[in-house]
């Protein structure tokens, strides 16, 4: 409200209004903001004073002080003051709206009967202004002689006109604000509508299009039988395994990584969608089967090269080109789906997941590959020495090789060399045995040795983990592995540091016999070592 007059968009119209009012009342009219800023140029009558003051800077300064005092008068909405500098009368009208000062109207250069001077007095004023006396007096005589009552009528008219003008401006401003608000709301509504429409056709986890969008697009293209269209069916491998072993966050990351690779390699006019679970589909308009198969190869390659996950990143893919003369697009998808399952079966035989997990542990330097492989071979030899069958010896050897596979569940910060672990971290490290048991049960090749893996870190006196088994309650296969793996870790360099001599290690085994190790097995193991030596 305080800046209402300054918000008038058409200043030219305001100038025309003040010029007309100035001619009508034959006096200078100036409209000011509440702060005293002049909104329009000097008109015919107010300009006269600017000209005569040009020759007398001191008079001009005195006149401006007079005007400033007039503007700051707050005791009434309309007040009249005689101006000794010009010998004429000025009036100030304060316009308020909603009890707020909206504008001021200055009327200057009025000959008021009550303040009328003699010609001699006007000549004296002209001399003080350093202007021509005759010209000044002629100018004074052109001004109408008004009574105070007449001036009041004029001021009432100007006040009414200006007040209505201000109200119109205020109303216009309010309407403009309302319109802007409605436009902002409409813009926000459109944005929200676009977002909701986008969400309605997007998969929230991967950001790809969803099944609904895919099916709508298939319906759209089903009528365009003159176009070359391919469809790809894709299925993320090992999602359930990832969820079961590493949790659903890891499973989500697997899907997101595959989605990113598929989307990055797709052309802009292709539609890549996640249609639920581990299922992905791609619709490729104006694309040949050769191009679709090349896309499948590049997706498979980029997935195989991504080593960011603990399990291998793999996706089975199948592609088919639509024969619009003999089948529907859904029939085409069914053919692509069959090829995808054929690819999935082939990948299942190619990828040995336990080996991949172990290789990742070697890469992260959680385990030493040479020590693990030597321990497996050494354990097999000792089992045969103990008269186990070859099949049993191979099973014990396999358990020795994969006994620490559960380490894959631990964050990398737990295996930094030289880093002392907190009690909580140590407890979590001990959980790797239970993790290894859970993981082994997921794989056909390790299922039979899961129980052995679960007991490989138990101690003869019951001080081991995870279940504090004691004595012969610990499977003999696990007791064998406890001996052979500790011997190999001590006599070979590992990721955690240096190693000991055979003599020092044998002495340590003797000392811990009956506490960590089965005493009878320890004796047989030492005999085995002696015979090997």
Residue 492 has pLDDT above 80, yes or no: yes
Three-class DSSP category at 372: helix
Residue 57 has pLDDT above 50, yes or no: yes
Angle at 83 between CA 16 and CA 67, to 5 degrees: 55
Residue 2 has pLDDT above 50, yes or no: no
What residues pair up with 233 in beta bridges, in sequence order?
281, 318
Prior bond to 466 cis, omega within 30? yes
Q: φ and ψ at 91, to 5 degrees?
A: -135, 150
User: pLDDT band for position 200 (50/70/90)?
Assistant: confident
Average pLDDT, stretch 255-280?
A: 94
User: pLDDT band for position 199 (50/70/90)?
Assistant: low
In this predicted structure, which of 197-211, 256-270, 326-340, 429-443 has the lowest mean pLDDT? 197-211
Residue 133 has pLDDT above 80, yes or no: yes
Could you identify the residue written with the tokens 């002392």?
420
Per the CB < 8 A criterion, the answer to whether 284 and 291 are in contact is: yes
Strands 100-112 and 88-97 turn out to be antiparallel
Of the ranges 49-53, 160-164, 368-372, the best mean pLDDT one:
368-372
Regarding the domain delimited by 211-351, which CATH topology (the fold level of the hierarchy) does it fall under?
A: Alpha-Beta Plaits (3.30.70)
Structure token digits, residue 175: 């309407």
Q: φ and ψ at 457, to 5 degrees?
A: -115, 20
Average pLDDT, stretch 201-218?
A: 91
Average pLDDT, stretch 92-116?
A: 79
- In percent, the amount of the chain with pLDDT more than 90 equals 43
User: pLDDT band for position 1 (50/70/90)?
Assistant: very low
In CATH, what number does 5-175 get? 3.30.450
Residue 30 has pLDDT above 60, yes or no: yes
Rounded CA-CA distance 132/364 in Å is 103
In this predicted structure, which of 35-49, 59-73, 74-88, 243-257 has the lowest mean pLDDT? 35-49
Structure token digits, residue 18: 């003040």
Structure token digits, residue 299: 């997706």
Strands in 271-274's sheet, in edge-to-edge order, are 271-274, 279-285, 229-236, 315-321
User: pLDDT band for position 419 (50/70/90)?
Assistant: low
What residues pair up with 282 in beta bridges, in sequence order?
232, 272
**Residue 447 carries which DSSP code?**
G
Written as one string, the DSSP assignment of 454-468 is HTTT--TTS--SSS-
Three-state SS annotation for 31-89: EECCCCCECCCCCHHHHHHHHHHHCCHHHHHHHHHHHHHHHCCCCCCEEEEEECCCCEE
Residue 472 has pLDDT above 80, yes or no: yes
CB neighbour list of residue 528: distance below 8 Å, 6 or more residues apart: 382, 385
User: pLDDT band for position 397 (50/70/90)?
Assistant: very high
Question: How much is the pLDDT for 413?
Answer: 67
The H or E element spanning position 488 is helix 476-491
Residue 391 has pLDDT above 80, yes or no: yes
Residue 520 has pLDDT above 90, yes or no: yes
What top-level class would CATH report for the domain 355-532? mainly alpha
**Position with higher pLDDT, 133 vs 40:** 133
Structure token digits, residue 508: 């340590």
For 330-374, the pLDDT digits (tens) are 999 999 999 999 999 888 777 788 998 898 888 888 889 999 999
Rounded CA-CA distance 42/503 in Å is 112
CB neighbour list of residue 307: distance below 8 Å, 6 or more residues apart: 360, 363
Q: Alpha carbon of 395 to those of 52, 388, 403, 439: distances in Å?
A: 118, 10, 12, 16
In this predicted structure, which of 49-53, 228-232, 300-304 has the lowest mean pLDDT? 49-53
Angle at 403 between CA 497 and CA 462, to 5 degrees: 90
Q: Alpha carbon of 324 to those of 223, 234, 416, 419, 426: distances in Å?
A: 9, 22, 60, 65, 63
Domain residue spans of the chain:
5-175, 211-351, 355-532
Rounded CA-CA distance 199/209 in Å is 9
- Helix 476-491 / helix 390-401 crossing angle, nearest 10 deg: 60
Could you identify the residue written with the tokens 């005759």?
134
The H or E element spanning position 93 is strand 88-97
Q: Alpha carbon of 236 to those of 93, 178, 292, 355: distances in Å?
A: 82, 53, 18, 19
Mean pLDDT of the chain: 85
Average pLDDT, stretch 404-424?
A: 73
Residue 197 has pLDDT above 70, yes or no: no
Question: How much is the pLDDT for 509?
Answer: 93
User: pLDDT band for position 483 (50/70/90)?
Assistant: very high
Per the CB < 8 A criterion, the answer to whether 83 and 117 are in contact is: no
pTM of full prediction above 0.85? no
**Residue 408 carries which DSSP code?**
G
Strands 100-112 and 145-146 turn out to be parallel
* C-alpha of 380 from chain center: 55
Per the CB < 8 A criterion, the answer to whether 296 and 317 are in contact is: yes
Residue 496 has pLDDT above 60, yes or no: no
**Residue 106 carries which DSSP code?**
E
Angle at 246 between CA 202 and CA 485, to 5 degrees: 160
Question: How much is the pLDDT for 44?
Answer: 64
For 290-342, the pLDDT digits (tens) are 999 999 999 999 999 998 887 889 999 999 999 988 999 999 999 999 999 99
Per the CB < 8 A criterion, the answer to whether 130 and 61 are in contact is: no
Per the CB < 8 A criterion, the answer to whether 93 and 158 are in contact is: yes
């Amino acid at each position: 409200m305080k800046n209402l007059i300054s918000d008038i968009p058409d200043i030219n119209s305001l100038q025309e209004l003040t010029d007309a009012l100035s001619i009508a009342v034959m006096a200078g009219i100036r409209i000011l903001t509440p702060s005293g800023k002049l909104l329009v140029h000097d008109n015919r009558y107010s300009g006269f004073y600017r000209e005569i003051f040009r020759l007398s800077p001191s008079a001009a300064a005195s006149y401006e002080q007079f005007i400033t005092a007039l503007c700051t008068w707050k005791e009434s909405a309309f007040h009249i003051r005689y101006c000794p500098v010009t010998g004429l009368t000025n009036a100030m009208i304060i316009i308020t709206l909603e009890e707020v000062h909206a504008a001021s109207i200055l009327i200057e250069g009025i000959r008021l009967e009550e303040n009328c001077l003699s010609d001699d007095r006007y000549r004296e004023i002209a001399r003080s202004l350093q202007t021509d006396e005759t010209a000044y007096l002629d100018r004074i005589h052109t001004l109408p002689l008004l009574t105070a009552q007449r001036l009041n009528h004029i001021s009432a008219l100007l006040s009414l006109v200006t007040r209505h003008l201000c109200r119109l401006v205020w109303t216009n401003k309010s309407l403009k604000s309302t319109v802007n608000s409605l436009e902002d709301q409409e813009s926000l509504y459109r944005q929200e509508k676009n977002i909701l429409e986008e969400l309605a056709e997007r998969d929230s986890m991967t950001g790809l299009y969803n099944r609904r969008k895919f099916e709508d697009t298939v319906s759209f293209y089903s009528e365009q039988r003159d176009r070359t269209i391919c469809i790809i069916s894709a299925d993320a491998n090992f999602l359930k395994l990832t969820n079961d072993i590493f949790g659903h966050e890891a499973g989500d990351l697997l899907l997101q990584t595959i989605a990113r690779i598929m989307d990055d390699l797709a052309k802009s006019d292709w539609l890549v969608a996640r249609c639920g679970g581990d299922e992905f589909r791609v619709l490729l308009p104006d694309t040949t089967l050769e191009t679709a198969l090349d896309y499948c190869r590049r997706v498979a390659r980029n997935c195989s090269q991504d080593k960011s996950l603990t399990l291998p990143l793999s996706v089975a893919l199948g592609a088919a080109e639509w024969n619009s003369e003999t089948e529907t697009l859904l029939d085409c998808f069914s053919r692509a789906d069959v090829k995808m399952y054929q690819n999935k079966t082939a990948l299942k035989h190619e990828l040995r997941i336990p080996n991949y997990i172990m290789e990742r542990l070697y890469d992260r330097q959680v385990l030493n590959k040479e020590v693990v492989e030597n321990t497996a071979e050494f354990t097999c030899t000792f089992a045969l020495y103990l008269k186990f069958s070859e099949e049993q010896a191979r099973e014990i050897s396999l358990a020795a090789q994969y006994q620490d596979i559960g380490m894959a569940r631990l964050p990398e910060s737990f295996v930094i060399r030289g880093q002392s672990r907190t009690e909580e971290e140590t407890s979590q490290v001990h959980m790797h045995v239970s993790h290894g048991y859970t993981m082994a049960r997921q794989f056909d090749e390790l299922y039979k040795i899961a129980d052995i893996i679960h007991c490989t870190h138990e101690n003869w006196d019951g001080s081991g983990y995870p279940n504090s088994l004691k004595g012969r309650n610990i499977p003999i296969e696990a007791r064998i592995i406890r001996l052979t793996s500790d011997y190999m870790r001590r006599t070979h360099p590992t990721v955690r540091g240096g190693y000991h001599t055979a003599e020092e290690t044998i002495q340590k085994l003797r000392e811990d016999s009956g506490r960590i190790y089965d005493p009878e097995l320890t004796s047989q193991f030492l005999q085995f070592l002696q015979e090997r030596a």
